[in-house]
Structure formats: structure tokens, C-alpha cells
């Protein structure tokens, strides 16, 4: 497979079938643009983590191909993985070591950096995730949120061209969540590509430029966030006490799919000008209490794609 230079992550037919016969990931074609913050969104159990594990070489695909940073995987792992930071399924650290010592141990395993500057790298990583004050505290005394922060710090021990993060705000309080989101935006602004696996719609809305939606092992949508926002045609919505008359005006104006609901008449806006519609309604004697152009919310779009709700909190 020829990797596209402008893609930080790409795959073709990536599939994982377990011995039980379960197809966890079914032939997905990922396309993550370089420099994007890519929201890998889907309900829990939709195949996101399995996909990430295959991308990073932690799980062998049953079939298909993929590349990271323009290089085929897993044949280029030794070259590529030092340029990739990852946080998958929660961090694993030694419970009796401090946060600082855990990171020092990880840093010492990286042969691409010099040990002379290890302390400075570790201190900077801890500060960036707000753990400088708890650097000497043993990991076993860390809260869930602190453990998640330490895992993120581990990905920041050296500059990364690509960050692959599985639920990075899991366990964080609202303030910690805001801080991590701000950090991810900072990293993206500095040139890193971020792949953010999440089930939180708010996370995608606040952070992401591009989105891939998983459902039962399939990639059911992949586009820019802006394109997904406008996926469904907008509708004209008239609030009035004369619903039938309003509906007739909308039909006469050539609008399609005119529907009547309690207190409202709606129709596909198409190429009609909202101002002209309002003028026509008023001219026909319709008492217009309200007029709006309404598009489907992002949540409604994802529910339609998957048939399932998303956690919109966070």
C-alpha cells in the first residue's frame, strides 16, 4: 500500500477477527490528515481500542494494511514508534515508585535521547500535566485522575509528531479535563497530529478538526467536523397559531417535505431565502411568532449514524 504523504495515519481494509469468530474491526479505511485533531468517536465496545492497538503494533490485524507518519507498519516500527506518543487503556506504572521515578525509568529505556537531560525532560512533562507538586508521591497513592495525567506525561517525554490517546480525560475532574484539553490544543498548534479516541461528544466538539465514527466494528463516517455539522439539510421552522396556513405558504414557495407539528410548520429550506419566506408568511396574514433555520445537531447526526446515543457530558 502506498502511503499518502499528507496522512499521519492511514489504513486499508484493517480487520481484526478473534478466534471466537467475533469481528471486532471490519475492514476500515482510516485517513487522518497530518496536523489534525482527529476524534475517533464511538460508543464503548465499537472497536476503537482494538483499532488503536493494531495501529500501534500491540495487536496483529487479521487482514489489511496501515501506515503511520507515511511509513508502512509494522515493518517501520523501529523508525516510526519513537516519533509516536500513545496512551492506551489506561497507564501502567510501578505502584511503589514515585511519579518522577516512573517517568525516569521510562525515559531511560529510550535510546534516542541522552540521559544527561533526563531530569529536565521528566520535570517538564510533569509540569505540563499539572503533576509537578506530586512528582515525589508514590504512584499507588495517586488518584485515578492523577494516574491518567501521569500516563499523558509519559507521552510527552520527548517531542512527538503523532499522539494516539485512548480516553485521555478518563477519571479527571472538570478542571483537569479542561487543562488536558487545553494541552492537546497546544500540542496540535505546535504541529503534532492528535488521534483522540473518545465516547464523549463534547470532547469532539471542543477539540477536533476531523472525525471518524465507529459502530460495531465499522467506520460508518469519516470527514471534517465542519462537514459533519452540515451533513443534514437545514429546515425552515415557523412558529405560529396558524399552522395550516403557514404550511400552505411554505408549499407555495416551493419548499419540500412540509410537516406540521404542535405549534410549528417546518420544511426543507433548499435554496429559499429566509427573509423572503418571512415576508411571504406575513403577506399571507400568518401571525409569525418565530422563524428559524434549523439544522440537525451533531448529537442527532451521530445517533442517526449509529442508532445509539453518545455521552454528551464531560
Cα–Cα distances in angstroms (integers) from residue 195 to residues 30, 46, 292, in the given order: 11, 16, 36
Residue 2: pLDDT band (50, 70, 90) is very low
Mean pLDDT of the residues in the chain: 89
Cα–Cα distances in angstroms (integers) from residue 116 to residues 13, 60, 86, 107, 108, in the given order: 44, 36, 24, 11, 10
Which pLDDT score, from 0 to 100, does residue 90 have?
64
Which pLDDT score, from 0 to 100, does residue 314 have?
47
Residue 1: pLDDT band (50, 70, 90) is very low
Give the pairing type, strands 210-215 and 37-41.
Answer: parallel
Q: Return the number of other C-beta atoms located less than 10 Å from residue 295's C-beta.
A: 15
Q: How far apart are CA 187 and CA 180, in angstroms?
A: 10
Q: What are phi and psi of 151, to 5 degrees?
A: -60, -40
Short-list 41, 1, 49, 8, CA closest to 194? 8
Give the burial class of 83: count Cβ atoms within 10 A of its Cβ; 0-12 exposed, 13-18 middle, 19 or more buried: middle
State pLDDT tens for residues 179-191. Answer: 888 889 999 999 9
Angle between helical axes of 99-108 and 144-155 (0-180°, round to 10): 30
Cα–Cα distances in angstroms (integers) from residue 45 to residues 3, 70, 200, 218, in the given order: 29, 29, 14, 11
Which pLDDT score, from 0 to 100, does residue 309 have?
59
Mean pLDDT of 82-108: 90
Q: Is the predicted pLDDT of residue 5 greater than 60, yes or no? A: no
Q: How far apart are CA 136 and CA 149, in angstroms?
A: 15
Residue 170 C-alpha cell reads as 478518563
Which pLDDT score, from 0 to 100, does residue 262 have?
82
Q: Are 272 and 227 in contact (CB under 8 A)?
A: no
Task: Report pTM.
Answer: 0.79
Q: Which domains does the chain have, with CATH numbers?
A: 7-224 (3.40.50.300), 235-294 (3.30.70)
Which pLDDT score, from 0 to 100, does residue 4 have?
41
Residue 214 C-alpha cell reads as 465507529
More confident residue, 12 or 231: 12
Alpha helices in the chain (DSSP H): 48-55, 77-80, 99-108, 118-128, 144-155, 174-189, 201-207, 225-229, 243-252, 274-283, 298-306
Q: Are 43 and 310 in contact (CB under 8 A)?
A: yes
Residue 310: pLDDT band (50, 70, 90) is low
Residue with cell 525515559: 107
Q: Are 191 and 35 in contact (CB under 8 A)?
A: yes
Residue 78 C-alpha cell reads as 523501529
Query: Residue 219: beta bridge partners?
Result: 214
Amino acid at each position: 500500500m502506498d502511503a499518502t504523504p499528507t496522512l499521519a495515519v492511514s489504513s486499508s481494509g484493517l480487520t481484526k477477527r478473534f478466534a471466537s469468530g467475533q469481528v471486532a474491526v471490519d475492514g476500515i479505511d482510516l485517513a487522518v490528515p497530518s496536523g489534525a485533531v482527529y476524534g475517533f468517536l464511538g460508543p464503548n465496545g465499537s472497536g476503537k481500542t482494538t483499532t488503536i492497538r493494531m495501529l500501534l503494533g500491540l495487536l496483529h490485524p487479521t487482514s489489511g494494511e496501515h501506515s503511520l507518519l507515511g511509513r508502512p507498519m509494522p515493518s517501520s516500527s523501529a523508525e516510526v514508534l519513537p516519533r509516536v506518543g500513545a496512551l492506551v487503556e489506561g497507564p501502567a506504572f510501578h505502584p511503589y515508585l514515585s511519579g518522577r521515578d516512573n517517568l525516569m525509568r521510562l525515559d531511560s529505556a529510550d535510546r534516542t535521547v541522552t540521559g544527561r537531560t533526563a531530569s529536565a525532560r521528566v520535570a517538564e512533562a510533569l509540569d505540563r500535566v499539572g503533576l509537578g507538586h506530586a512528582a515525589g508521591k508514590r504512584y499507588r497513592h495517586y488518584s485515578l485522575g492523577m494516574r491518567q495525567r501521569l500516563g499523558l506525561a509519559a507521552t510527552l517525554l520527548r517531542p512527538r509528531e503523532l499522539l494516539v490517546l485512548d480516553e485521555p480525560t478518563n477519571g479527571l475532574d472538570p478542571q483537569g479535563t479542561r487543562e488536558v484539553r487545553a494541552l492537546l490544543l497546544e500540542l496540535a498548534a505546535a504541529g503534532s497530529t492528535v488521534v483522540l479516541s473518545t465516547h464523549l461528544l463534547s470532547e469532539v466538539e471542543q477539540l477536533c478538526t476531523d472525525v471518524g465514527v465507529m459502530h460495531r466494528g465499522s467506520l460508518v463516517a469519516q470527514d471534517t467536523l465542519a462537514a459533519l455539522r452540515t451533513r443534514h439539510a437545514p429546515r425552515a421552522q415557523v412558529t405560529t397559531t396558524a399552522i395550516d396556513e403557514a404550511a400552505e405558504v411554505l408549499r407555495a414557495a416551493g419548499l419540500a417535505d412540509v410537516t406540521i407539528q404542535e405549534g410549528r410548520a417546518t420544511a426543507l429550506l433548499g435554496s429559499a431565502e429566509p427573509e423572503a419566506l418571512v415576508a411571504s408568511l406575513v403577506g399571507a396574514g400568518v401571525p409569525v411568532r418565530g422563524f428559524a433555520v434549523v439544522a440537525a445537531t451533531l448529537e442527532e447526526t451521530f445517533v442517526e449514524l449509529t442508532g445509539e446515543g453518545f455521552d454528551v457530558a464531560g
